[in-house]
Amino acid sequence: MPERTEPAVIDQPVAPVRTGCRFKLGLFLLVANWPVGYGGAALALAWGRATGQDKFGAIMAAVFYAFSWGMLGAGVLLAGKAGLARTKELGTQLKNKFRRR
C-alpha cells in the first residue's frame, strides 16, 4: 500500500506593511509627481507669457513635465506595488473628503 502523505499547504506570503525610508520616499515621489508636472508646467508657461519669453517658458514646461515622469518612475521602483496601492487609497480618501454631500 502506498505511503500516505500530507497534502501540500500553499502558503500565500502576506505582504508586510512597508514603512522604511525607501518606501516613504517612493510614496512621496508618487504623490508629488502630479503637482510638479502639471503645476510646474502651468507656472512655467504663465511666467514665459508674463515676461514675453514664450519659447523659454514652453521649454521649461516640458522640462517640468519630463521631470515628473522621472519622479513617477523612481517612485514606482522605490515603493513598488504596495506604494501604488497606498497612493490610490490616499487619492480616494482625498476625493471623498472634498466630494459634495
Place of cell 514675453: 52
Q: Is residue 44 part of a domain?
A: yes
The residue segments making up the domain with residue 68 are 38-95
Q: Is residue 55 part of a domain?
A: yes
Residues in the chain: 101
Per-residue pLDDT of 44-81, as tens digits, reads 999 999 999 999 999 999 999 999 999 999 999 999 98
Report the distance separating Cα 62 and Cα 11, nearest Å.
Answer: 48
Report the distance separating Cα 88 and Cα 56, nearest Å.
Answer: 35
DSSP3 helix / strand / coil % (the chain, rounded to 5):
75, 0, 25
**How many domains does the structure of the chain reveal?**
1
Report the predicted TM-score, pTM, of the whole model to 2 decimal places. Answer: 0.70
Q: Is residue 72 part of a domain?
A: yes
Is 77 in contact with 38 (CB distance < 8 Å)?
Answer: no
